[in-house]
Copies of this chain bind each other. A is one copy, B any other.
């Protein structure tokens, strides 16, 4: 797969529709058995008796499904180098079996990486909604992307100066 998106191509404010996925009861249980074996993720009856009103996916499963859509519909055509972290991760509504989840991604901020002139950083927000348009997941993350052209010493000096005055 050839690279279509380098750091320079990721404009602040640009919105990407990253597709949809459906999660089944079997998948919810399989993930939970492996990584999050709490009763409301494993068993229909325990789910119905819980504050969620039904068996629901582990929040880590929901995040992982969002990641798969992000890789398939964006990152694998990009110069992505991974992520140092996330903020404001919110599991807003439970994800139930057979929910259809649709992901949107918007770029909030972009800057060169001071320690690596060949890398730029973007800050993005992901939002995932279910088939009823209810937001189930929101998070803001940092992503590192290779640049088409490395930062010049002047560019890095300017960033230092801006940071110093901030």
User: Which residues of A are in contact with B by a Cβ distance under 8 Å?
Assistant: 34-38, 40, 50-52, 58-60, 63-65, 67-68, 71-72, 75-76, 80-92, 116, 119, 144
Contacts and interface: CB of A to CB of B under 8 A. Distances in A.
Contact of A71 (B36, B86, B91): B36
Number of this chain's copies in the complex = 2
Given A64-B36, A67-B36, A85 B90 contact: yes
For the residues of A in contact with B, the DSSP-based class is mixed
Nearest to A51: B81
B37 A71 contact: yes
Contact of A52 (B71, B82, B91): B82
A52 B125 CA distance: 24
